[in-house]
Amino acid sequence: MAPSSLMRGDPISVPVLDNTELRVRYGSYRRRQAARLLQMVPREAVRPLYRRARAAALDSGVDPEDVTNDPLAVLLGYCERLLPLPSFDIWHEDLRRHPDAHLEDLDDSADGPTADAPSTLATHELTFGGREWLARLRAFRDGGFWRAYIAFEEVDRDRVYRTTAVFCERDPWDLRRRFLSFEPASLEAFLRSALP
């Protein structure tokens, strides 16, 4: 649940995400919804549901070995197709309009962002050295905490520089709030520390 200090109508930062991260987050969203459906299915209905999922996978040409090796993935994929989930474009527009709801979904999920696959929670734009930069707060779960680093991307270039994981908070809202409070001079200091 979002902390009460983050009230409706407060200014929020919509993170700037690249297409790869958007697709990863959309896929994670779909898997979370499928997993939540499975949690509601009565125990005695899981095996028949899996039999249907397995038959559908085999009918669609999935390699029988893949079906046998990862039955949970087959079941979750089937549940994703059963649910009336929004298309990528509709989901993306919802993320743009309601980032706090998506942040809450990330915080509540058991499969939240990891150090290997962090999520961007907020973005700052800045000018440094006469060039435009995006500073992205990249966060992940680590035990009972949320940790984050700042990834600096030079606009219109492929170069990305990042700090080490310098933030640690109990929830993602505190990470984002702290990051959004930084003045340009603070962000420039972090960028200088990240540059080679």
pLDDT in tens, 117-126: 899 999 998 9
pLDDT of residue 41: 92
pLDDT band at 40 (very low <50, low <70, confident <90, very high): very high
pLDDT of residue 174: 92
- Higher-confidence position of 182 and 11: 182
Q: Per-residue pLDDT for 44 more than 60? A: yes
Q: Per-residue pLDDT for 67 more than 80? A: no
Residues 82 and 148: their CA atoms lie apart, in Å, by 35
Q: Per-residue pLDDT for 11 more than 60? A: no
pLDDT in tens, 144-172: 899 999 999 998 888 899 999 999 999 89
Residues 116 and 25: their CA atoms lie apart, in Å, by 14
What is the mean predicted confidence (pLDDT) over 27-36? 90
- What does the domain layout of the chain look like in residue ranges? 14-112, 113-196
C-beta atoms surrounding 80 within 10 Å: 17
DSSP designation for 115: S
C-beta atoms surrounding 172 within 10 Å: 24
The rounded mean pLDDT for the chain is 86
| Distance, CA of 151 to chain centre | 15
pLDDT of residue 19: 86
Report pTM.
Answer: 0.76
